[in-house]
Amino acid sequence: MSGVNTLTFRDLCRLLCCPPCPSQIASKLAFLPPQPTTYTVPLSESTSQYSFELTDRAEWQYSDRELRNIEVYMTPTSKGNRIPCMFVKCPTTHGAPPPNFTILFSHGNAVDLGQMSSFYVGLGARLGVNIFSYDYSGYGASTGSPSEKNVYADIEAAWQSLRKTYGISPDRVILYGQSIGTVPTIDLAKKYECAAVILHSPLLSGMRVAFPGTKRTWCFDPFPSINKVAKVTSRVLVIHGTEDEVVDFSHGLGIYERCQKPVAPLWVEGAGHNDIELHSQYIERLRHFVNVELAE
């Protein structure tokens, strides 16, 4: 579901040019949009509404009924790009109250909304929440290209669109970032207080992933979450696998130690970077956090 590119010797030489280019480091370390995309968002000329059409590569696991609970539309960003936003309605019985929370999910690398759609449906149903997500610039049906600046503008556009389109107040929004998605999540969370923040396999900074011995944040270090997370005033749940082969477990520990309001973290013994969701304690911990801790 998520990952960071493996750097070749030539890549390292280019990154260490004088001075290194932050955008180049960012793209080499993080961004790998799936090609071809797994979905399209055609606009109907008759209704002026967008539809969500999946390809076989999306590996959709549900029926057309669940697909009808998904709304997708395009929204502009401050950088001049257009990104798709997805709202997955939590299934409820007739007369039941609406879900208490909506998760704004920033997904990992090498996936797009089409590949994540089945996961979102299942997660929302299991937790009793709505899921709102988006694709980064250059991913899926988005325009533009992926970059650090664009990804910050992308989540800002998604946040504003969620609030404007669905009228959901910040105290009803849970920000969830996975892997590279923790970067825009932390950046947004330091600006806006919300119900809570979930950081799944977070990274301290780009250089600390590429060069594990890095002890300080250089001016050209992309994704400096280590310097931002202490400014987050919402409650934070950190999730990390102890055998993460992409973003070392020490990154999760480092992020947790710098949080103002951390809750009990979830350290999944033996889990790597892409299989935490397969462990039973993953859903158990999220359910308790959303339905018990946030209700107190």
Contacts of 245 (CB under 8 A, 6+ apart): 272, 273
Q: How many residues does the chain have?
A: 296
Cα separation of the two ends of the chain: 32
Q: Which residues are catalytic?
A: 179, 244, 273
Burial class (CB in 10 A: 0-12, 13-18, 19+), 118: middle
For residues 219 and 222, what is the distance between their CA atoms, to the nearest angstrom?
A: 8
Q: How far apart are CA 199 and CA 237, in angstroms?
A: 6
DSSP 50: B
Spell out where 6-52 has E strands.
Answer: 39-40
**H helix or E strand, kind and range, residue 200:** strand 196-200
